[in-house]
Structure 1
């Protein structure tokens, strides 16, 4: 014969409590979000952490944008300075090359009283038969 046993009561499902956000409670008490948005509108209070995260990302994005624009302005300023120095270098190089020509040197030497010889220098040509082996 079977033994009599007590029927066990079914256990109630465990409902996990949502953690209370201390920061939200503090802000709600100090700033009074319920007064700002209305007591029946709890959406901004529930999603305050997400709103703050998106705000942080927007501020970060704006900061990067300003930094990029500043870098572009600096690059343009440096490019203009490099172009100016390149033009100055080209001008100085052309003046230097011009001052090395014989006609320019002779003009400068005439001021000191020296003159060029009238006869051009002689070119010595050695024939291959004249070379000694």
Structure 2
């Protein structure tokens, strides 16, 4: 069977929690010597050292994330510039290719070989179905 026990009053639980906090603050005070830094009569920083450390940690995380975001923005801008340059190169190359395929450009290139355009119109070749 279950054993009946008395429930601890809330103030006893708070006192235990307070003692634990004070234990951490006193340990930190012994280790670092914060009372010499702030004075023995000023115990506010020592009592709230856990909150101070938490806020410090959050500030460090915030600064790190801010640096990361700025680095990403710079990388995105650099990539956009590269994309714009490649797009302009593509447009120039495509225009040159389309121009090189015209008949006037082809006739200039084949003139070096000795070929030229025919001055006569093309002849139509008619094949009858029974000659086939």
| TM-score normalised by length of structure 2 | 0.77
> How far has the Cα of 1:122 moved from its partner?
6.1
Cα RMSD for the two superposed structures: 2.1
More helix by share: 2
Pair member with larger Rg: 1
Change (3 A) 1:94 1:28: same
* Dislocated runs of 4+, deviation >4 Å: none
1:77 and 2:48 equivalent? no
Hey, what's the Cα distance between the residues in 2 that align with 1:71 and 1:117?
A: 62
> How far has the Cα of 1:40 moved from its partner?
1.0
Match of 1:99 in 2: 100
> How far has the Cα of 1:19 moved from its partner?
2.2
Hey, what's the Cα distance between the residues in 2 that align with 1:14 and 1:118?
A: 111
Any idea what the Cα deviations from partners look like across 1:78-117, whole Å, max 9, x if unmatched? 0111011001100000000000000000011111111110
Structure 1 segments unaligned to the other structure (5+ residues)? 1-12, 124-133
> How far has the Cα of 1:121 moved from its partner?
3.5
| TM-score normalised by length of structure 1 | 0.76
Structure of higher RCO (CA pairs closer than 8 Å, 6+ residues apart): 2
- 5 Å-filtered alignment, 1:1-133, equals 16=12, 17=15, 18-21=18-21, 22-121=23-122
Hey, what's the Cα distance between the residues in 2 that align with 1:86 and 1:27?
A: 61
Alignment length (residue pairs): 112
Hey, what's the Cα distance between the residues in 2 that align with 1:88 and 1:14?
A: 75
Choose 65-74 or 28-37, whichever is displaced more. 28-37
Change (3 A) 1:51 1:14: closer
Hey, what's the Cα distance between the residues in 2 that align with 1:80 and 1:114?
A: 45
Structure 2 segments unaligned to the other structure (5+ residues)? 1-8, 125-132
Change (3 A) 1:59 1:108: same
